[in-house]
Amino acid sequence: MRELRFIAIEGVIGAGKTSLTKVLSNKMHAGTILEEFEENPFLAKFYADPKKYAFHTQIYFLMSRYRRQREIAQIDLFNSRVITDYLFVKDRIFAEVNLSEDEFALYDKIYSILAVDVPRPDLVIYLQASPEALYKRIRQRGRSFERDIEFEYIERLSEAYNTFFFHYNSSPMLIVNIKGFDFLANPKDLDLLHSELVNLKEPRRVLSRE
């Protein structure tokens, strides 16, 4: 069995990161570090008026995510295991999509300073889905602060995520096409995912039912 002490689960909004983090951490007897997106006071305002509130939203997220990542750095990973529902670098993906050129230049200076102290995962699980499927999931879960999300925004995020993870090589990665899987309701799906990640030998592998 691979030594997986720090696992990060990633994917565009609506991919099911937090739900999978919770069930997988239970299966692997791991602790969890979850994003605190609902605490961002600018998030709903951003979805309603992206240009006006993008920088405020991004800086709040950056500092919140950094603080949570520092909690991981303080955990004794030789004796513990932790799973998170995000990868720190995701913050920069969102920043590139949402910020103006000048805003991003300032943001990137702050990000570069903070990123030095962020631990690197032993494995990244990237949950991949079509923009249509993601948008449908977002609508179905009905979070109030997400009601103003536009489909075009999910399309842009999906393109940015796919481009980033196509080139990502900082950690081994299991890419999971979530279509056809139900990791919450079907224990066999979760067992399959668990087997794939602990037996992953190559730098990246795709798990798909298509």
Is 17 assigned a ligand-binding role in the annotation? yes
Which contiguous run of DSSP H or E holds residue 36? none
Annotated binding residue 13 = yes
The answer to whether the annotation marks 14 as part of a ligand binding site is yes
- The 3-class secondary structure across 82-147, one letter per residue, is EEECCCCCHHHHHHHHHCCHHHHHHHHHHHHHHHCCCCCCCEEEEEECCHHHHHHHHHHHCCHHHC
125 is in an annotated binding site: no
Active site residue 191: no
69 is in an annotated binding site: no
Whole-angstrom Cα distance, residue 5 to residue 80?
A: 7
Q: 19 labelled as ligand-binding?
A: yes
Residue 12 annotated as lining a ligand binding site: yes
Q: Is 142 annotated as a binding residue?
A: no
180 is in an annotated binding site: no
Q: Which residues contact 125 (CB under 8 A, 6 or more apart)?
A: 7, 8, 9, 10, 20, 173, 174, 176, 193, 197
Identify the residue whose tokens are 């948008």: 135
Dihedral in degrees, nearest 10, Cα atoms 181, 90, 30, 176: 20
Which position among 85, 117, 189, 191 bears the catalytic label?
85
- Residue ranges for the known binding site for ATP are 11-19, 137-141
- Residue ranges for the known binding site are 11-19, 137-141
Q: Which residues have a catalytic role annotated?
A: 85
